[in-house]
Structure 1
């Protein structure tokens, strides 16, 4: 955990940002410790961050707001890794197969991103204020546009607008395929039965195939 002095009220902009980032780092650590958890208790977050519950609410309106900010960080990190991955193939121009593969690979490298995205509309957005929701959605649009530009730079025959549309439809793919590919224990045991093999999902493989279909359609 990063160094932090508890119970001292932050007054400067820098101190407030330090507290906010400390809370996000603490939340990440809690999520790492409980990979199956779909929520985050403010009381436990405050305890582990060595802050009072009221102080936590100075920075975040709800536990969902904390997770939304973690998710925004995850998307920004994914976008940075995406740019690196796209530049490493050594080709003058990528193919739709290359784009689909890199997209799926970089997503799979960030399970927390996939996990939080899968509960974004059903859980995380439920307790956000209008103002916080607007900020979040604007961040999503900006990140989507930047990712589309990165893809277009590697495959100019598909426009930035078309890549944005592909990314738009990639979101529900993640929301649906992540929980199906990571079923709860009982469901995992059931689909392990030989006769139910057709109900098994492989997240990276299935996302890549679906993206390839979308990309081929965008190229037409």
Structure 2
């Protein structure tokens, strides 16, 4: 394998983009848990050591992809979300539906989110962790603005709490709604067990709708929103 070192900032950016695009393509074919640095290096036609010239670890690559996926999701929400009429409950239910359906339509984002705390944030440097969390904070601020635009009754604290609740539920519900082959076979073999299989959209929508109602009802409860 011949490797030509990128010598300019533009070449380095292109090489990083090549690695990220390759990882993104692989995640459309396999879950995060199956994407290894060796497999990524082979697909990108680079030696493993050369990939590590541009990213400190596999997790660093996946974290950058997570940041990109979240930003694309926010841009999509900005294009598709529009204020609707009706009561607070009706508008809250509509917002909950939009959040759940839009997340379900982004399996790579949901898979990365579900692996964030247990995998992606484990094998990284402090500097990378700081950069990632600053990026996450900017994304959360953008999400908060979109939610307040559609449901101003939530206020800043309520919108922030809704985002936290919805994303945490998505992290938990995604792997549960995509069981292993043995569990799929069990559900198929025993219809009585089928009701135990998690429906991602249903559970995220329901959680978000209940959270919205509760947050609005208790928006003056300072203890609820205390850090």
Q: TM-score, normalised by structure 2?
A: 0.87
Q: What is the alpha-carbon root mean square deviation over aligned residues?
A: 1.7
Task: Work out whether residues 57 and 123 of structure 2, in 8 Å CA contact, stay in contact via their aligned partners in 1.
Answer: yes
Partner residue, 1:78:
73
Partner residue, 2:156:
160
Greater CA drift, 38-47 or 113-122: 38-47
1:189 aligns with 2:185: yes
CA distance in 1 between partners of 2:18 and 2:56 (Å): 16
What are the ranges of 5 or more consecutive residues in structure 1 without an aligned counterpart? Answer: 1-5
1:64 aligns with 2:72: no
CA distance in 1 between partners of 2:215 and 2:50 (Å): 48
Partner residue, 1:106:
102
Task: Work out whether residues 39 and 63 of structure 1, in 8 Å CA contact, stay in contact via their aligned partners in 2.
Answer: no
Task: Work out whether residues 177 and 207 of structure 1, in 8 Å CA contact, stay in contact via their aligned partners in 2.
Answer: yes
Write the deviation string for residues 106-133 of structure 1: whole angstroms up to 9, x where unpaired: 1011011001111111111110111111
CA distance in 1 between partners of 2:193 and 2:43 (Å): 42
Change (3 A) 1:155 1:117: same
CA distance in 2 between partners of 1:18 and 1:92 (Å): 46
Partner residue, 1:206:
203
Partner residue, 2:47:
52
Which of 176, 179, 184 aligns to 1:180? It is: 176
- The number of residues matched between the two structures is 212
Task: Work out whether residues 32 and 115 of structure 2, in 8 Å CA contact, stay in contact via their aligned partners in 1.
Answer: no
Shift of 1:198: 3.4
Task: Give the 4+ runs in structure 1 shifted more than 6 A.
Answer: none
Task: Work out whether residues 39 and 64 of structure 1, in 8 Å CA contact, stay in contact via their aligned partners in 2.
Answer: no
What are the ranges of 5 or more consecutive residues in structure 2 without an aligned counterpart? Answer: 218-227
Write the deviation string for residues 137-166 of structure 1: whole angstroms up to 9, x where unpaired: 111111011111011011111112211111
Partner residue, 2:7:
11
